[in-house]
């Protein structure tokens, strides 16, 4: 049995970056940039008016002659004679002869005569070429998470595609004779299977949509064959159940028979003690305990950070925060506890129903409290570390 810290370290050591892949901007959304992006152009590419008003050459004069108009999108340069102004609109090209845009609210117009009510400083309301970005600038660094703003920014620079780290293809292997699919009637002794969908949804939130699910009974041969198929087509395999020491737990033997090398088995934690992690070449396998609460806890604590690293994120470890505990916590187990809790306004409350078989408390919690193995109790008013679950990416 190893400590939580050692388990995380071992997984980290066996996690590399995904391969680089070129994707259209739409597909690149929520991926991580695999290249430094240099600006292929100046932005703005021409001197732009930032207001509706009049472009003119700055002077002391209080009247100008309105000599024309420039709309946004018009390429032509309008030549200005001394004392001329042109009507101009936001985003339009400022004529080369003009240095200032006077906003329309500070003018009065009588036919072609423009009265200046308030002259701004020279250069006002003109966005210089390259004000935001200059040709060749490093504008986004490798490792940037591409949210909607980053995608829009890249589109504004004319990009259609970018290089990102490919998320891993994931296989899920669900084991258990007692499991029935929702929608079918339950026979005596059966329960509905929920780990596959829980993991699929968690993977979806972690940006992974290419997931294959296989379901097997508690049968060595079936497990070996299904695992072999999943290993063929996935960079990461998650096994649910069958990893304990019962007579019908075949995951370990199936892993051995498939040449998956054990890195560790069993972590000093509750829930989720029988977690198994191994590798086959570059491929990784987590055998997660079948109890739904344990399964999801192990996913949050171990699988998710590994996925973030694989996907190219720089700060991939779980973000640990601190709150003030409002409910007492007891830990007579000498293990790290992960407790489902709500945290709001800096106050943490552990929920009832922490058993590893239960998902009810998980369904309404927004944090996992981290209770150190050596803390026998933590009292209300004391500080406690937690991992927020509602902002994970
Ligand atoms: P196991 O890890 O296979 O020993 O399973 C531990 C407990 O979790 C047992 O009570 C199983 O019935 C339950 N369990 C295992 N797999 C699932 C699953 N996919 N969905 C819901 N419960 C499960
Ligand atoms: Mg089982």
- pLDDT tens-digit series, residues 285-341: 999 999 999 999 999 999 999 999 999 999 999 999 999 999 999 999 999 999 999
Residue 44 reports pLDDT greater than 90: yes
**Could you give the strand order of the β-sheet that contains 170-175, starting from the edge strand earlier in sequence?**
211-216, 170-175, 236-240, 283-288, 276-280, 261-265
- The residue-averaged pLDDT of 191-208 equals 97
Give the count of beta carbons closer than 10 Å to the beta carbon of residue 14. Answer: 16
Cβ(26)–Cβ(290) below 8 Å: no
Give the ligand at the shortest distance from the Cα of 248. Answer: 2
Cβ(309)–Cβ(337) below 8 Å: no
**pLDDT tens-place string over residues 132-163:** 999 999 999 999 999 999 999 999 999 999 99
What angle (nearest 5°) sits at the alpha carbon of residue 198, between those of residues 193 and 202?
Answer: 165
Residue 327: which residues within 8 A CB-CB, separation 6 or more?
Answer: 348, 349, 350, 380
Q: Is the CB of 140 under 6 A from ligand 1?
A: no
Ligand 2 centroid – CA 278 distance (Å): 19
**pLDDT tens-place string over residues 360-388:** 999 999 999 999 999 999 999 999 999 99
Ligand 2 centroid – CA 174 distance (Å): 9
For 204, phi and psi rounded to 5 degrees?
-60, -45
b/e 344-377 (16+ beta carbons within 10 angstroms → b): eeeebbbbeebebebbebbeebebbbbbebeeee
Q: In the prediction, which pLDDT does 392 show?
A: 73
- Per 3-state DSSP, the chain is made up of helix, strand and coil in percentages (nearest 5) of 20, 35, 45
**pLDDT tens-place string over residues 86-121:** 999 999 999 999 999 999 999 999 999 999 999 999
Q: Is the CB of 144 under 6 A from ligand 1?
A: no
Our measurement of the distance from residue 391's CA atom to the centroid of its chain's CA atoms, rounded to an integer in Å, reads 9
Does the reported pTM lie above 0.85? yes
Q: Beta partners for 195?
A: none
Q: Is the CB of 179 under 6 A from ligand 1?
A: yes
Q: Is the CB of 293 under 6 A from ligand 1?
A: no
Q: Which residue has the tokens 């927004």?
A: 366
Q: In the prediction, which pLDDT does 305 show?
A: 97
Question: Rg for the chain (alpha carbons), in Å?
Answer: 30
């Amino acid at each position: 049995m190893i400590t939580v810290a050692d388990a995380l370290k071992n997984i980290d050591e066996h996690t590399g970056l995904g391969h680089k892949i070129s994707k259209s901007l739409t597909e690149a959304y929520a991926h991580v940039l695999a290249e430094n992006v240099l600006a292929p152009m100046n932005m703005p590419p021409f001197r732009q008016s930032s207001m509706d008003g009049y472009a003119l050459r700055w002077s002391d004069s209080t009247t100008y002659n309105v000599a024309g108009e420039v709309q946004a999108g018009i390429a032509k340069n309008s030549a200005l004679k001394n004392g001329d102004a042109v009507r101009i609109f936001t985003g339009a090209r400022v004529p080369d002869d003009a240095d200032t845009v006077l906003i329309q609210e500070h003018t009065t117009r009588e036919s072609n005569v423009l009265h200046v009510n308030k002259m701004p400083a020279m250069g006002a309301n003109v966005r210089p070429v390259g004000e935001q970005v200059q040709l060749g600038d490093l504008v986004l660094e490798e490792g940037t998470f591409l949210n909607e703003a980053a995608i829009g920014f890249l589109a504004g620079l004319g990009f259609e595609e970018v290089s990102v780290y490919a998320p891993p293809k994931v296989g899920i292997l669900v084991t258990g004779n007692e499991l029935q699919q929702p929608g079918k009637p339950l026979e005596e002794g059966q329960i509905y299977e929920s780990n596959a969908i829980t993991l699929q949804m968690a993977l979806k939130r972690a940006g992974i949509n290419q997931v294959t699910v296989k379901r097997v009974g508690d049968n060595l041969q079936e497990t070996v064959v299904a695992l072999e198929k999943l290993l063929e087509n996935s960079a990461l395999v998650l096994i649910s159940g069958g990893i304990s020491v019962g007579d019908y737990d075949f995951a370990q033997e199936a892993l051995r028979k498939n040449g998956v090398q054990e890195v560790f088995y069993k972590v000093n934690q509750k829930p989720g003690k029988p977690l198994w992690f191994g590798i086959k070449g570059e491929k990784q396998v987590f055998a997660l305990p079948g109890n739904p609460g344990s399964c999801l806890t192990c996913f949050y604590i171990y699988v998710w950070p590994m996925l973030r690293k694989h996907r190219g994120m720089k700060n991939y470890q779980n973000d640990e925060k601190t709150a003030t505990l409002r409910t007492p916590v007891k830990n007579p187990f000498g293990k790290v506890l992960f407790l489902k809790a709500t945290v709001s306004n800096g106050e943490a409350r552990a929920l009832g129903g922490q058993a590893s078989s239960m998902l009810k408390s998980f369904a309404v919690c927004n944090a996992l409290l981290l209770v150190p193995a050596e803390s026998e109790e933590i009292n209300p008013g004391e500080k406690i570390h937690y991992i927020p679950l509602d902002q994970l990416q």
